[in-house]
Amino acid sequence: MKESMSITSSTYASALLTLPWDTPLEQWPDALIAALPRGISRHIVRFVGINRGIVAVKEIGARTAHHEYKMLRELQRLGAPSVRPVAVITGRHPAEEDYGELTAALVTEHLEFSLPYREIFSRHLTVVEAEKLIRALSVLLVRMHLLNFYWGDVSLSNTLFRRDAETYSAYLVDAETGEFQPNLSESRRLYDVDIARVNIIGELMDLQAGECLDGSIDVITLGSLVESSYLELWTELTAEEAVDASEYWRVSERIDRLNQLGFDVGELKVTKDDSRQVVRIRPVVVDPGHYRAELLSLTGLSVEEHQAQRLLGSIQAYQAVECGPHVGLTQAAHLWMTHEYEPTIAAVPEEMLDKLEPAQIFHEIVDHRWFLAQERGEAVTLAEATASYLASVLPARRAEARLLNTPPADEDLS
């Protein structure tokens, strides 16, 4: 007796039922396929438009699909930066014998304003841009390991990137080999890091071969940046530090350093040695999103970490310049939203809203304002900078919310 088709999904079942699951994904009609940029994958993956938006469909074995769905759901529950799982489709039966056996499928939400690394490098970008991506990936890997999650296949290809002020934020997009462990050992962590280093070096070599990265760049040194960046951040977040008992201010200094890196300290273990002359401090609980959380509480805006840091800087500048000495940060944030942020975003033409996230647009307008002031040798208002940016900069940007892309016909992309 044939297994009946099953859709494991809490909210998307009705929208997914109408898709041609009895046909191999490669042969789905073009009318269903959204031509979004795709990275290299060992599986067939397509982006599909449904009435709830765009989803990614990946043909994969049933056991692996259920495992990845479970891993992604747990990562979402823990607030980890990763794609949101939608459904697992099993029991697919071919409409024609020629189709052969149809595998299960994993469905995930398309992450708006996200880019695969190859799309970022499609315009022959520099080593500086590569370093930004690699550092973002190292931060993502640290965050996964803090959750005791072993990734197992760390690479640029298995990551999506969102613009985050002057850098990028990274999101896990493939959890096939991932698993949670009660206590992730140091050897497993470092093995994950080594996998990342080897994979990234290989990916950078491919970019050089495709003339998307300067051939003179030492890709081994560049790819190894993921290891040094990871170790530096992991040490700062977890290492024990010994200080003189009279220098209690170093405890606050350690917390401030972690805050600057974008992490909140939920718990700090402080112990004294037998002589009571040396204090040892070690973070026990660290939570990412220090600036995001502060901005969210002040304004209700949910943005990336570096964007939040930049917007908080704008709020503090507004408080200092536009508000009286008795206006607190909470009230200043409300006034800033009313008089600066909201009017600026409202000025963006509707047809340009899909080019960049609102917080990224505001960040770039602030930068544009500074460059205009330097060029003119005089102060430039936010309204003037906004008008100039909307006329001369934003129109030339690509629509990154759902960046359209037609992959080469001779490549198996996903």
DSSP output for 45-114 = EEEEEETTEEEEEEE--HHHHHHHHHHHHHHHHTT-SBPPEEEEEE----SSGGG-PPPPEEEEE--TTE
In contact, 138 and 200? CB cutoff 8 Å = no
Give pLDDT tens digits for 186-229.
Answer: 999 999 999 999 999 999 999 898 888 888 899 999 999 999 99
Both 58 and 101 in one domain: the answer is: yes
- Tell me which amino acid residue 406 is: T
In contact, 54 and 47? CB cutoff 8 Å = yes
Both 129 and 227 in one domain: the answer is: yes
Both 31 and 129 in one domain: the answer is: no
The whole-model pTM stands at 0.86
Is residue 414 assigned to a domain?
no
The whole-angstrom separation of Cα 15 and Cα 141 is 34
Contacts of 317 (CB under 8 A, 6+ apart): none
Both 198 and 265 in one domain: the answer is: no
Q: Name the residue range of residue 339's domain.
A: 301-396
The CA-based diameter of the chain, rounded to the nearest angstrom, is 80
Both 277 and 310 in one domain: the answer is: no
Is residue 222 assigned to a domain?
yes
286: which 2 tokens? 């660290």
Contacts of 363 (CB under 8 A, 6+ apart): 165, 166, 307, 310, 311
Both 355 and 372 in one domain: the answer is: yes
User: How distant, in Å, are the alpha carbons of 37, 288, 414 from that of 408?
Assistant: 11, 38, 12
- Per-residue confidence (pLDDT) for residue 405, from 0 to 100: 45
Is residue 385 assigned to a domain?
yes
Is residue 405 assigned to a domain?
no
Report the relative pairing of strands 53-59 and 45-50 from DSSP bridges.
antiparallel
In contact, 305 and 313? CB cutoff 8 Å = no
Question: CATH number for the domain including 166?
Answer: 1.10.510.10
Number of domains in the chain: 4
253: which 2 tokens? 């200094």
Out of 44, 76, 111, pick the residue that ends a domain.
Answer: 111
Both 193 and 264 in one domain: the answer is: no
- DSSP code, position 4: P
Q: Is 26 exposed, middle or buried (0-12, 13-18, 19+ CB in 10 A)?
A: exposed
Both 68 and 148 in one domain: the answer is: no
Strand blocks (E) in 256-352? 263-272, 278-288
Is residue 260 assigned to a domain?
yes
3-class DSSP state for residue 248?
A: coil
Residue segments in the chain with a per-residue pLDDT below the cut of 70: 1-5, 9-10, 35-41, 123-124, 245-246, 248, 274-277, 279, 403-414
- Per-residue confidence (pLDDT) for residue 414, from 0 to 100: 33
Both 248 and 314 in one domain: the answer is: no
364: which 2 tokens? 């770039």
Is residue 60 assigned to a domain?
yes
Report the half-sphere exposure of 325 (CA within 13 A, side-chain side): 0
Is residue 228 assigned to a domain?
yes
The whole-angstrom separation of Cα 393 and Cα 338 is 24
- Tell me which amino acid residue 259 is: N
Both 149 and 181 in one domain: the answer is: yes
Question: CATH number for the domain including 99?
Answer: 3.30.200
Out of 79, 111, 143, pick the residue that ends a domain.
Answer: 111
Dihedral angle sign, alpha carbons of residues 55, 61, 67, 68: negative
Is residue 168 assigned to a domain?
yes
Both 122 and 231 in one domain: the answer is: yes
243: which 2 tokens? 């200080």
Out of 111, 140, 168, pick the residue that ends a domain.
Answer: 111
Supply the angle between the helices 305-322 and 329-336 in degrees, to the nearest 10.
Answer: 100
Both 268 and 305 in one domain: the answer is: no
Give pLDDT tens digits for 78-118.
Answer: 999 999 999 999 988 888 877 778 999 999 999 999 989 98
